[in-house]
């Protein structure tokens, strides 16, 4: 079986610029279009697959509206416990060592002691010097006797006796016999001494100026 081949179309007449159009160019373009479409399709598939497989770009954080209260990042810190401090201890004031200092026996804030209380406290402690040499006011009336000058040297067996009135007024010291002292006469016999041991003028030392001390009236 034979096919009749049509003769090729003659080329077109030249245009004004001398260009001729050959029919072979249109036929070649028809053959190239399917291949070009396939290439474009392959390229589109390749690009689409690459976009699907490529890692997604990190999205920007979406701002969250604040509710006015900051959410706690963690448990609230527990304040450190303050070290316990001991309460200040009041140090008691030590009493004075002076037996004539009233603060030795009475504390500030105590009622003001009377003379009898002070002397009684001294006697309770066995103190017989200073204020302790006196009898508590009111326990015995002051004694009258011979005055003893401050610069007089007392012989052995004699002593100065200090007194105060119930109002606290000091009385001039008088001469008394010392405790346990025994006086002898010229023959060596003991002489009886007064019960209150106040030295009478006749038993006073020979060189003592005789002058009697009078107790001032009360009030």
Residues 64-96: tens digit of each pLDDT: 555 555 555 556 666 666 666 656 655 445 456
Residues 6+ apart with CB under 8 A from 211: 146, 147
State residue 201's pLDDT score. Answer: 96
Q: Which residues have C-beta within 8 Å of that of residue 127, sequence separation ≥ 6?
A: 99
pLDDT tops 80 at residue 202: yes
Mean pLDDT of the chain: 75
Rounded Cα gap, residues 74 and 68, in angstroms: 18
Q: Which residue has the higher pLDDT, 98 or 151?
A: 151
Residue ranges of domains in the chain: 94-140, 141-213
Q: What is the reported pLDDT for 39?
A: 73
Pairing state of beta strands 190-191 and 212-213? unpaired
**DSSP-assigned states of every residue in 59-123:** PPPPPPPP-SSPPPSSSPPPPPPPPP-PPPPPPPPPPPS-TT-GGGT--TTSPPPPHHHHHHHHH
- Confidence class for position 200, pLDDT limits 50, 70, 90: very high
Q: What is the pLDDT of residues 161-175, one digit of tens each?
A: 998 887 778 899 999
């Amino acid at each position: 079986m034979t096919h009749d081949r049509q003769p090729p179309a003659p080329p077109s007449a030249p245009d004004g610029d001398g260009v001729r159009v050959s029919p072979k160019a249109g036929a070649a373009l028809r053959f190239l279009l399917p291949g070009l479409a396939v290439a474009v399709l392959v390229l589109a598939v390749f690009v689409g697959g690459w976009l699907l497989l490529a890692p997604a770009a990190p999205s920007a954080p979406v701002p969250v509206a604040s509710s006015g209260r900051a959410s706690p990042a963690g448990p609230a810190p527990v304040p450190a416990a303050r070290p316990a401090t001991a309460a200040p201890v009041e140090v008691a004031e030590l009493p004075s060592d002076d037996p004539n200092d009233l603060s030795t026996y009475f504390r500030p804030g105590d009622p003001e002691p009377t003379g009898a209380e002070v002397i009684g406290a001294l006697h309770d402690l066995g103190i017989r010097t200073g204020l302790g040499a006196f009898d508590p006011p009111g326990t015995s009336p002051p004694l009258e006797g011979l005055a003893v000058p401050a610069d007089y040297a007392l012989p052995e067996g004699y002593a100065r006796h200090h007194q105060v009135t119930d109002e606290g007024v000091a009385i001039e010291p008088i001469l008394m016999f010392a405790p346990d002292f025994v006086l002898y006469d010229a023959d060596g016999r003991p002489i009886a001494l007064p019960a209150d041991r106040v030295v009478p003028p006749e038993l006073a030392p020979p060189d003592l100026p005789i002058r009697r001390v009078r107790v001032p009236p009360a009030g």
